[in-house]
Structure 1
Amino acid sequence: MLGLLVSSMALALAFFALLDGWYLLRFPCAVLRARLLEPRVRDLLAEQRRAGRVLPSDLDLLLHMNNARYLREADVARVAHLTRCGVLGALRELGAHAVLAASCARYRRSLHLFEPFEVRTRLLGWDDRAFYLEARFVSLRDGFLCALLRSRQHVLGTSPERIVQHLCKRRVEPPELPEDVKHWISYNEASSQLLRAESGLNEDVKAQ
């Protein structure tokens, strides 16, 4: 019995010491919670909210939530969002998947220890290759928008249009993207062209 306990503790220690344990646990938990415990969201463009609180493990040397934690919380909120609105299920049914191709973050005010916040995620729209999502970090103390993250989910194996059509059972025109997102897309395309040129890749290679 003691040997089993020691072995279990050693495995747990190795899991958290050698791997990003909490991150690997939170993702499947977020998907299961969204799939089994939370209602399905039929409106693809509806905002979804996920509550959080700044923990000691989130802090940097300045004693506020470190920059990387925003990206991680946005990751978890995004996978839960895509699960609840059916996009992840549609990807699986169509034999496709999506990868994070680009993201940008704007930090407006720090979140401090034990401060409650919400991650408000919504789908902004899509084009022929990717979905564009937004995550807003809002302090629940005063409603201030502390950080704004945008992400581009590149779809492989099918197209965003086909995924939406699969979910809605009809063809749906994508909504008009915000002007700043259009500028960001243009920046990404210009960056891809420069990187392809540096790598000596053919112009026919699609940007990712």
Structure 2
Amino acid sequence: MIQLALATTRPRPAVPGRGLFDPSVTRLRVRLGDLDFYRHVNNGVYLQMMDVGRSNYLADLGAFSLLKERGWYPVVASSTMSYRRSLTLGQRFEITTRLLGWDPRCAYLEQTFSRGDEHVARGVVAGRFLGRDGSRIAAPDVIGLLGTHDGPSPELPADVRAWAEAVGVAHRDQPAG
């Protein structure tokens, strides 16, 4: 929780020339409070660590001041995780966050956990932005604010597209009439 508070209230400096599709790397170490009864990182803690990674991704883009000016803030609409290896006390690891694409409703990010060359876990997040007035901000509007990408979203990977549809976060065309 302390890492997340610091990442959002005192974001790291923007990375000059950083693009929307450039990966953002967050380096962390497993602390005692991250562990569960079985002495490995608790599955819920992975989600908090992913929050830190997404905050750092936004910081790398210089997004915090732009979002604050408009009264917009990020929320998670849905997330999914797959685990391959455990992380244990004291181990250093990295979370690599990258934008996969977006639809009119959500931006989709992949967050991979690795320890050295070893793949530990993968999370996929459907993120939304809300306004302080309760409004929902269209993902393309946020993309336009934060990046230099002028075209449509790249095609989402098939597994991410299927997941977004299955959990109901993917944009759905409104029926006529």
Identity between Structure 1 and Structure 2 (%): 33
Against the structure 1 CA distance between its residues 27 and 114, is the aligned structure 2 distance closer, same or farther, given a 3 Å change threshold? Answer: closer
**Contact persistence 2:4–2:49 (CA under 8 A):** no
- Counterpart of 1:187 in structure 2 is 166
Q: CA deviation at 1:96?
A: 2.7
**Contact persistence 2:107–2:128 (CA under 8 A):** yes
Q: Distance in 1 between matches of 2:17 and 2:122?
A: 23
Q: CA deviation at 1:41?
A: 5.0
Which has the higher Rg, Structure 1 or Structure 2?
1
Aligned residue runs from structure 1 range 31-180, under 5 A: 31=8, 32-35=10-13, 39-40=15-16, 42-140=18-116, 143-156=117-130, 157-168=136-147, 171-180=150-159
Number of aligned residues: 166
- Counterpart of 2:7 in structure 1 is 30
What per-residue deviation string (whole Å, max 9, x for no partner) do you get for residues 178-197 of structure 1?
11000111111289xxxxxx
Q: CA deviation at 1:62?
A: 1.2
Which structure shows the bigger proportion of residues in helix conformation?
A: 1
Q: CA deviation at 1:170?
A: 6.8
**Contact persistence 2:95–2:114 (CA under 8 A):** yes
Gap runs ≥5 in structure 2: 131-135
Against the structure 1 CA distance between its residues 70 and 163, is the aligned structure 2 distance closer, same or farther, given a 3 Å change threshold? Answer: same
Corresponding residue SS for 2:97: strand
Gap runs ≥5 in structure 1: 1-22, 192-203
**Contact persistence 1:126–1:160 (CA under 8 A):** yes
Q: Distance in 1 between matches of 2:152 and 2:65?
A: 21
- Counterpart of 1:12 in structure 2 is none
Taking structure 2 as the reference length, the TM-score comes to 0.82
Task: Give the root-mean-square deviation of aligned CA atoms.
Answer: 2.4
Against the structure 1 CA distance between its residues 41 and 70, is the aligned structure 2 distance closer, same or farther, given a 3 Å change threshold? Answer: farther
Which structure shows the bigger proportion of residues in strand conformation?
A: 2
Corresponding residue SS for 2:137: coil
Instruction: Indicate the structure whose relative CO is greater, using CA pairs within 8 Å and at least 6 residues apart.
Output: 2
